[in-house]
Amino acid sequence: MMEQKPATITDRFVATELPYPSYVSKADKAWLNLRFEPEFIIMAAVDYGLYNLAQLQAAGYSVDTLNDAEKAKIFYLTHHLGLADAKRFIRKTITEENAHKLLVAQIGAKKAAKSAKDYGSYVEGHRVWLRKYIEDNIQLDKFYCPKMEFTEKQESENLDIVIEKIKGDAIQ
């Protein structure tokens, strides 16, 4: 029999419950449930983002030329697409088939088809949608805290300019 544990995220209840196989110990369940604690969610997201930036840097991308505001956009790009597809997005090598799957997953088949028609392909429709999504949602000025010591407000260029800055010596 599998034990069920409700999952909470911040102040909202997630409708599903997490089943754990009977062999999972109480200690392991407690450890796994930390992923629903807001502080751990934030720390995991930052760790994941830093890992992705380090992987991009190791692959020849000039991550070190970006300011923190620009890195936030690349953080989100890699979070949204995963590291491999983020590299393809930066290099503009995502295939039509993959772009179709990605765009349909985000906006549904009808809107994706319209976007592909409007922009000439699923690749371009996906690029336009994701760039706009990142520009509309990664706005650090909403989270900047001017009262914190040693904090400088940073601006970020649009995603296309950030991508051009990051390309560096990366294999094209």
- The DSSP bridge pattern shows strands 12-20 and 3-9 to be antiparallel
**Between 93 and 25, residue with greater pLDDT:** 93
**57: Cβ–Cβ under 8 A, 6 or more apart, which residues?**
63, 64
In the block, residue with structure tokens 């000025």: 141
Number of Cβ within 10 Å of residue 135's Cβ equals: 14
Could you give the CA distance from residue 153 to residue 1 in angstroms, rounded to a whole number?
53
- Calculate the alpha carbon distances from 106 to 79, 87, 126, 128, 158 in Å: 14, 19, 9, 13, 21
- Structure confidence by residue, pLDDT tens digits, 115-127: 999 999 999 999 9
- Give the pLDDT confidence score for residue 1 in this predicted structure: 40
Work out the burial of residue 94: count CB atoms within 10 Å of its CB; fewer than 13 is exposed, 13-18 middle, 19 or more buried: buried
% of residues, the chain, pLDDT over 90:
48
Is residue 125 within 8 Å of residue 115, measured between CB atoms? yes
Per-residue pLDDT at 159 exceeds 70: yes
Domain boundaries, the chain: 63-167
Is residue 154 within 8 Å of residue 67, measured between CB atoms? yes
Amino acid of residue 141: D
Which strand (E) or helix (H) includes residue 132?
helix 122-137
Residue 49 is classified by DSSP as: H
Amino acid of residue 35: R
Q: pTM of the entire structure?
A: 0.72
- Structure confidence by residue, pLDDT tens digits, 36-90: 888 888 888 889 999 999 999 999 999 999 988 889 899 999 999 999 999 999 9
